[in-house]
Structures are given as C-alpha cells and as structure tokens.
C-alpha cells in the first residue's frame, strides 16, 4: 500500500484582539479532519474588525503563524481566512427557471442556472463584491422546503439565495495582509459564518438557531433556519467598547479597565465585596463594583436592544427554537448568559467549540469557536459545493494601484467611526449620570 502524507488544512482568523490560526490534518481514512494545533498572537493594526495599519497587521499574522508552526512542528503555506466584514450586507434574492413543458429531473446545470438567475437579480455596486452565495430555499413546481433539488422531477425550479456582499477594499486589504505574511489565501469566509460553523450543532441549525459572537471590536450574528443561514451580519461593537466605557466612567487607565472587566460578574448577587482597590500609577483608587457592573450591563443591553434586535426584526422568535448560542471572548464574562437570556427572552448557551475534544488546553473555549469553525466551513464547502458558493480568490483580486487608495480610505473611515463612537459613549455616560441624579 502506498503511504500518502496527511492533508493539512489551515484556518486563519483575523480578529481585533487576537489573530488565531488553526491547523488540522486529515488522512485518507478519516472523514473529519483532526485539529492538531491552535496558534495565536495579539492583534495589532486591526480595529473594529478593519485593517487600519497593514504593516502591523502583517507582523501580527506572522507571529500567530509561527506560534502555530511551533506547536505542529512544520511550516504552513496556505490558509482559508476569516475576517470581520464590517460594512458587508446580507441580501436575499430569488430566481426561477423552467425545466420544460413536461416534467423532468433537475440536473446540476439547472441548479447552476437557477443560482445565476437569482444572482442576476442582485445589483452589486462596482466597489463591492459578492463573497458568499448560499441557497437557502429551493422549490419545485411551487412545493417549497426542498433540501436538495438534484434528481427531483418537475417543470419549474425556484430558489431563494442569501448573498454576502463585501466592500472590495476590505477584501483586498485582507488578501494583501495575509499574502505579505507569506501565506497563500485559498479562501475567505466572513466571521459570522465561521463563528456559527464553530458553535452551532447540526441539530440546532436545522431546528433554527442564532449564533452570536462578541469579540474585541465586533459582534457577528448568523441566523439559521432549516439548516441554512438566512442572515449573516457584523456589528462594529465588541468587548473593547465595554473596556473603554469602564475606563471613561470610572476614570481609570484602559489596562486597568480591561483587568477589572475580566473579573466582573454580571450578576450583582455574585459580588462579595462592594469596592475594589486599584493601583493606578502608584496611587490607590477605590472602584465601586456595582457602578462597574452597571456600566457593563448598560453597554451589553444597548448592543442587544439597539443593534441585535434590529437584525432580528424581520424574523419571528418562533423561528429559532434552539435559542441563541454565544461565543467570542465576551461570552467568557461571568453570568452573561442569564443576563442576555432575560434581555431577549430566549434560551441561551455559551458555545464550546464544536471540536472541543481536539483543541489544545488553554485554547479551548468560546473565544476559539470561530477559528475552529473555519475548518468546518472548509469541509462543509468541499462536501456541498452548491451550499456554500464562494467567489474564487482570483476574481476578488484588484490591481496594486487600487490597493493603495483603499488602504487610505479604510484609515479615514476608521478615524471617523471611532470619533462617532467616543461621542456616543460620552453621551451615554452623561445619560447615565443624569439617570443616577433622579
Ligand atoms: N473573561 C472575560 N470576561 C470578559 N471579557 C473577556 C474575557 N476574556 C476575554 N474577554 C474580551 O473578549 C474580547 C476578545 O474576544 P475575541 O478573542 O473573541 O475577539 P477577536 O476575535 O480578536 O475580535 P473580533 O472578532 O471582534 O475581531 C476582548 O474585548 C476581551 O477583553
Ligand atoms: Mg473574532
């Protein structure tokens, strides 16, 4: 028997707080790849999910790669990359084709034709491109709920597509960053899809579920109905905003606010001491824990009531009986689950990465669900190429002259959004102080 080297699969997650790399291997006897290493490094040059300093981002990617390479003992050269996709839109379109006057079986060419028909309904602006195309519903002769139309018989085939449309500049910056770090980009996946793949079970996706990942700079949301994602969105708010609020309201440095945040519980009944002493540049400062919890609860409440509820507004709660599965670093906050469950009136569970038994110790919690999800995305796409259609990287590329302009655009936009953000948190803090007065 001829021995074949196992196939290596690599996923790279470009986060705002950390860059994570997953390495998995699969040999011919294995159905599922096995994760053999998770590397990571602090993320620099990425804010609210957007690359704002290419060189710093490249260095962070290199550091995360070498961490993974040290763990697995070999170099990696290619990866599928998850990125936030801020400003992306998740759009539904419909298509219909005739199969002829007399009923006949649906062929692969028909499936391609009906997908193209639905795609042609989309008006994609010239500075954007379609990254994912996901059939969410097929019907034959008006009978909906068809899981896979191939080989089924009828005279009319209809489809509903979910397309994720991303600014071309964002995609180009991601490809450019990873390639400069010496890695060939094999595929791209939006963070909301990678996180959902890493945290929802098949049963949950079929029953109907919401995957929510709250990271450092972004919150991504994926809504699943009948096993298919019917919405994939990213909101530019994450754990960093909570840290900034704490620093601002309690007048403490960001690093102290970050430490404090990670020690807090959202359930005031968990609190044993009312105040905490912080050493700030050699001076002792007393911080009121109840005040700190209020600040965190306020920001999380705002995220859910103003942003996430908006993403859910087109859907009925009854479409998601499996409830909400929470991942990302912020999901590690103590007692966040009962707090969010009460806010939304939904059952909620904190995601362990689905492949948790394969993950290395210390890198095996809800913060690593999205990087592990990249491997699941790769295998799912390979098995069902018509379920997760991804535009090839060669089509997503642009010329270097455009790249330069786009980097500048991204930076300008970033400074504007961060200014808006600080104004908003200033207003929120004032509102809070006013509430406390009365
Ligand atoms: N125990 C904890 N309690 C509260 N927050 C935590 C805890 N551990 C980590 N975090 C927060 O989680 C965030 C980082 O999460 P994660 O690693 O999922 O982000 P990321 O993937 O780098 O960012 P993004 O996906 O937004 O681009 C940070 O804001 C960090 O402060
Ligand atoms: Mg992330």
Whether 106 maps to a domain, the answer reads yes
Which residue has the least CA distance to atom 8 on ligand 1?
329
Strand partners, 214: 219
Q: In 17-84, where do the E strands start and end?
A: 18-26, 34-42, 46-47, 50-51, 78-83
Whether 438 maps to a domain, the answer reads no
Whether 235 maps to a domain, the answer reads no
Mean pLDDT of the chain: 88
100: domain CATH number is 3.30.1490.110
Q: What is the mean pLDDT of residues 316-331?
A: 95
Which single residue is written with the structure tokens 């790279």?
12
**Best of 12, 17, 47, 170 for a ligand 1 pocket test (most atoms within 8 Å of beta carbon):** 17
Whether 272 maps to a domain, the answer reads no
Tell me which residue of 91, 347, 370, 349 sits closest to 220, measured CA to CA.
Answer: 370
**Integer Cα distance of 230 and 218 in angstroms:** 20
Question: How many other C-beta atoms lie within 10 A of the C-beta of residue 274?
Answer: 10
**Best of 335, 367, 368, 374 for a ligand 1 pocket test (most atoms within 8 Å of beta carbon):** 367
pLDDT digits 0-9 by tens, 140-155: 999 998 989 999 999 9
Whether 197 maps to a domain, the answer reads no
CA of 417 to the centre of ligand 2 (A): 19
Whether 149 maps to a domain, the answer reads yes
The atom of ligand 1 lying closest to the CA of 367 is 18
Q: Determine whether the shortest distance from the Cβ of 238 to ligand 1 is under 6 A.
A: yes
- Choose between 258 and 276: higher pLDDT: 258
% of the chain residues with pLDDT over 70: 89
CB-based contact 34:26 (threshold 8 Å): yes
Rg of the Cα atoms in the chain: 23
pLDDT value for 1:
59
Q: What is the mean pLDDT of residues 103-116?
A: 95
CB-based contact 351:198 (threshold 8 Å): yes
CA of 247 to the centre of ligand 2 (A): 22
Q: Determine whether the shortest distance from the Cβ of 215 to ligand 1 is under 6 A.
A: yes
CA of 195 to the centre of ligand 1 (A): 13
Q: Determine whether the shortest distance from the Cβ of 329 to ligand 1 is under 6 A.
A: yes
The atom of ligand 1 lying closest to the CA of 333 is 3
**Integer Cα distance of 322 and 206 in angstroms:** 9
pLDDT digits 0-9 by tens, 121-177: 999 999 999 999 999 999 999 999 898 999 999 999 999 999 999 999 999 999 999
pLDDT category at 398 given cuts 50, 70, 90 is: low
The atom of ligand 1 lying closest to the CA of 220 is 25
Q: Determine whether the shortest distance from the Cβ of 261 to ligand 1 is under 6 A.
A: yes
DSSP labels, 188-239? EEEHHHHHHHHH--HHHHHH-EEEEEE-SS-EEEEEEETTEEEEEEEES--H
Count of structural domains, the chain? 1
Whether 128 maps to a domain, the answer reads yes
- 410 pLDDT more than 60: no
Among the listed ranges 65-74, 214-223, 342-351, which one has the minimum average pLDDT value?
342-351
Q: Apex CA 57: angle with CA 401 and CA 213, to 5°? A: 115
Q: What is the mean pLDDT of residues 417-426?
A: 44
Whether 97 maps to a domain, the answer reads yes
**Integer Cα distance of 90 and 193 in angstroms:** 11
% of the chain residues with pLDDT over 90: 71
Tell me which residue of 174, 158, 237 sits closest to 393, measured CA to CA.
Answer: 174
pLDDT value for 420:
43
For the chain, report the end-to-end CA distance as a whole number of angstroms. Answer: 80
Query: Which ligand is nearest to the Cα of residue 19, counting in written order?
Result: 1
CB-based contact 398:179 (threshold 8 Å): no
DSSP labels, 370-435? HHHHHHHHHHHHHH-TTTSEE--HHHH---HHHHHHHHHHHHHHHHHHHHHHHHHHHHHHHHHHHH
Residue 103 is part of which domain span?
A: 89-166
- 76 pLDDT more than 80: yes
Among the listed ranges 26-40, 61-75, 282-296, 315-329, which one has the minimum average pLDDT value?
26-40
């Amino acid at each position: 028997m001829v021995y074949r080297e196992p196939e290596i699969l690599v996923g790279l997650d470009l986060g705002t707080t950390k860059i994570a790399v997953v390495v998995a291997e699969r040999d011919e006897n294995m159905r599922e790849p096995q994760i053999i290493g998770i590397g990571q490094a602090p993320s620099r040059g990425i804010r609210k999910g957007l690359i704002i300093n290419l060189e710093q981002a490249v260095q962070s990617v290199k550091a995360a790669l070498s961490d993974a390479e040290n763990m697995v003992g070999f170099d990696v050269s290619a990866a599928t990359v998850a990125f936030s996709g801020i400003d992306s839109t998740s759009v539904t379109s419909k298509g219909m084709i005739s199969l002829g006057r007399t009923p006949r079986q649906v062929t692969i060419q028909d499936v391609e034709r009906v997908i193209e028909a639905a795609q042609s309904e989309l008006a994609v602006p010239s500075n954007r491109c379609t990254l994912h195309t996901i059939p969410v519903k097929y019907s034959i002769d008006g009978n909906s709920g068809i899981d896979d139309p191939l080989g089924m018989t009828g005279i009319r085939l209809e489809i509903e597509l979910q397309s994720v449309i991303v600014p071309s500049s964002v995609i180009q910056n991601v490809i450019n960053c990873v390639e400069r770090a010496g890695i060939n980009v094999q595929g791209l996946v939006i963070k909301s899809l990678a996180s959902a793949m890493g945290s929802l079970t098949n049963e949950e996706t079929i029953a109907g579920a919401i995957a929510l990942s709250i990271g450092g700079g972004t919150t991504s949301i994926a809504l699943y109905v009948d096993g298919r994602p019917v919405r994939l969105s990213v909101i530019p708010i994450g754990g960093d905003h909570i840290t900034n609020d704490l620093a601002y309201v309690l007048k403490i440095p960001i690093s102290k606010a970050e430490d404090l945040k990670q020690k807090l519980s959202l359930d005031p009944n968990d609190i044993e001491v009312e105040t905490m002493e912080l050493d700030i540049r050699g001076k002792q400062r007393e911080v009121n824990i109840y005040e700190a919890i209020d600040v965190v609860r306020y920001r999380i409440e705002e995220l859910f009531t103003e942003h996430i509820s908006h993403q859910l507004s087109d859907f009925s709660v009854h479409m998601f009986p499996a409830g909400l599965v929470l991942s990302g670093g912020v999901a590690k906050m103590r007692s966040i689950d009962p707090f969010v469950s009460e806010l939304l009136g939904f059952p909620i569970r904190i995601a362990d990465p689905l492949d948790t038994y394969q993950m290395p110790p210390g890198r095996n919690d809800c913060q690593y669900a999205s990087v592990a999800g990249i491997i699941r995305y790769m295998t799912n796409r390979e098995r069902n190429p018509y379920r997760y259609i991804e535009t090839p990287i060669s089509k997503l590329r642009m010329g270097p002259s455009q790249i330069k302009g786009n980097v500048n655009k991204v930076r300008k936009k970033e400074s504007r959004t961060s200014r808006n953000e600080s104004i908003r948190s200033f207003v929120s803090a004032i509102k809070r102080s006013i509430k406390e007065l009365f």
